[in-house]
Amino acid sequence: MSDAAIRTAVLGAQGRMGSEAVKAVENAQDMELVAALGRGDSLKKVLEAGATHIVDLTVPDVTEDNVRFAAENGLHAVVGTTGWDGERLARLEALLEQNPQVGVLIAPNFALGSVLASAFAAKAAQYFESAEIIELHHPGKVDAPSGTAARTAELMGQARREAGVGPSPDATQKDPGGARGAVVEDIHVHSVRLRGLVAHQEVLLGSAGEQLTFRHDSFDRASFMPGVLLGLRTAASRPGLTHGLDGYLDLGL
């Protein structure tokens, strides 16, 4: 392991995502796992181990304290825990002004393909007359549509409004059972629940004579790890707060 390795501490190391992150950091050539903290472990261990970066995959109750501790001690942070509302983000930005060399990434979604698909869909939506979304998940999911589908629809709808594109054409007069699905920001969203599936999404765009489709398939939690590693490799060069993995991608969007 070279001196230049990214010395990483994983917080929440016993959780489902955390244990994947432990494996991913261990397997990365340019990283060293220096600490793996579970529930009840003291944050001091992070400093004792000489970490330069933390990955926070804990729970909403403790994630803010963890990230503040990192920032105050000059450690970069990659955060996948939920619960970062506007108030928390504002407090963190204030803190980072006092620690201007620290980079923090807070990302609701680490699947590169999903983040790319959402960004491209938002970009392309203004160039087509029609836009709809189909999301497909395992049958254990309790909410419909998925959070990712709702967010994608919001981004697409907003981009279409700003470009002056009206709602998709639709002559439907009879739909007694609700087959046309939910409508989010003028975008129809359809939710399929099927045994065997994990998490999948299709964005469909259509104009006269052509269709453009983006499809993302998540088969496995492993799909989040390339995004976590990209976060660790990038955080030190992006001081301040970045919200969303797309902020680290070279999309120029």
Tell whether residue 205 is a contact of its own copies (CB under 8 A): yes
Closer residue to its own copies (CB): 1 or 208: 208
d(CA 42, CA 39): 9
d(CA 187, CA 160): 10
Contact letters (x/-) for its own copies, 216-245, by CB under 8 A?
A: xxxxxxxxxxx---x---------------
To the question of whether residue 226 is assigned a binding role by annotation, the answer is no
CB of residue 7 to its own copies, shortest distance in Å:
23
Binding residues among 126-155 for its own copies as defined by CB under 8 A: 127-130, 132, 134, 136, 139-145, 149
Active-site option among 23, 44, 53, 141: 141
| Binding residue count for its own copies, defined by CB under 8 A | 81
Which residues are bridge partners to 11 per DSSP? 37, 56
The verdict on whether omega for the bond into residue 145 sits within 30 degrees of 0, i.e. cis, is yes
Tell whether residue 21 is a contact of its own copies (CB under 8 A): no
Active-site option among 137, 188, 190, 200: 137
Q: Which long-range contacts (CB under 8 A, 24 or more apart) does 37-45 make?
A: 37/9, 37/10, 37/11, 37/12, 37/13, 38/12, 38/13, 38/14, 39/14, 43/69, 45/9
Binding residues among 37-76 for its own copies as defined by CB under 8 A: none
CB of residue 167 to its own copies, shortest distance in Å:
10
Among 28, 35, 184, 232, interactor with its own copies by CB under 8 A: 184
Is there a catalytic annotation at residue 23?
no
> Helix 147-162 crosses helix 112-124 at what angle (to 10 degrees)?
30
To the question of whether residue 83 is assigned a binding role by annotation, the answer is no
Closer residue to its own copies (CB): 27 or 101: 27
Among 120, 236, 246, 247, interactor with its own copies by CB under 8 A: 120
d(CA 144, CA 142): 7
Is there a catalytic annotation at residue 141?
yes
Side-chain-facing half-sphere of 237: CA atoms under 13 Å: 9
Tell whether residue 210 is a contact of its own copies (CB under 8 A): yes
d(CA 82, CA 65): 13
By annotation, the residues acting in catalysis are 137, 141
Q: Binding site for NAD(+): which residues?
A: 12-17, 80-82, 107-110
